[in-house]
Amino acid sequence: MIKKITGVLIFLIITLIGIYIMTEKEQSLYSQVLRLHVIANSDNPYDQALKIEVKDEIVKMMNREFDDLNDADEARRQAIKDIPQIKKTAEQMIAERGYDYPVQVSVGDSEFPSKTYGNLVFPSGKYQAVRVIIGEGEGKNWWCVLFPPLCMVSSSDKGLTLDSSKEAKVSLKCLQLLPHGVKLRISGN
């Protein structure tokens, strides 16, 4: 009887240690990335296309801003400073396309579902994010990892690939920047 109780206790302790380690890894992941979340005015195809154009401009701008940054905390502080510029960038793109939607920009915690970028899997949870809401913000949304710079590789359905030498260089550089806790799926293609 004592052996059974001891065995159960050892099993429970090992299980709890495993859960603790996994939770710590995920918590460290959540603090090591800054995500971008852009929400369209509506699901109208024109609003959805506008959302992508706004996202592209913001990603270009933020990639320049984040060029010399080393961690997600620096990226978050820079993004907070850049809120007026992010808003202006989005408003200019919207106006250029003939719309007059208002734009809301914030930086803070946002809930994200699990997301796969090619072979990379980011678990669901609360991440720091730059959140851009276009107009009513009732349309489908778009998200990516802004820091480290994975938005550039996630803007297509291909994700991280090694189809060309240029893509391989970009992908491998991104892999060097990946935070601890990101899961890498390897398929047997």
Q: Which helix (H) or strand (E) holds 135?
A: none
Question: How far apart are alpha carbons 144 and 154 in whole angstroms?
Answer: 7
Specify the pLDDT at position 81: 96
Residue with tokens 């699901």: 43
Specify the pLDDT at position 136: 95
Whether a cis peptide bond, with omega within 30° of 0, leads into 148 is yes
Pairing of strands 34-39, 141-147: antiparallel
Specify the pLDDT at position 144: 82
Q: Taking a C-beta distance cutoff of 8 angstroms, is the pair 153, 174 a contact?
A: yes
Specify the pLDDT at position 124: 84
Strand blocks (E) in the chain: 34-39, 103-112, 115-117, 120-122, 125-134, 141-147, 183-184
Specify the pLDDT at position 173: 43
Specify the pLDDT at position 28: 63
pTM recorded for the entire structure? 0.67
Q: Where are the domains of the chain?
A: 2-184
Specify the pLDDT at position 163: 41
Q: Which residues have CB under 8 Å from 163's CB, separation 6+?
A: none
Helices H / strands E in the chain, number of each: 6, 7
Q: What is the pLDDT along the chain (189 residues), one digit of tens a residue?
A: 787 777 665 665 665 554 544 444 444 667 788 889 999 999 999 999 999 999 999 999 988 888 888 888 899 999 999 999 999 999 999 999 999 999 999 999 988 888 776 667 778 888 899 999 999 999 988 888 888 877 754 444 333 333 433 433 344 344 445 555 555 554 444
Question: How far apart are alpha carbons 31 and 179 in whole angstroms?
Answer: 9
Specify the pLDDT at position 97: 93
Specify the pLDDT at position 70: 83
| C-alpha to C-alpha distances, 4 to 7, 11, 13, nearest whole angstrom | 5, 10, 14
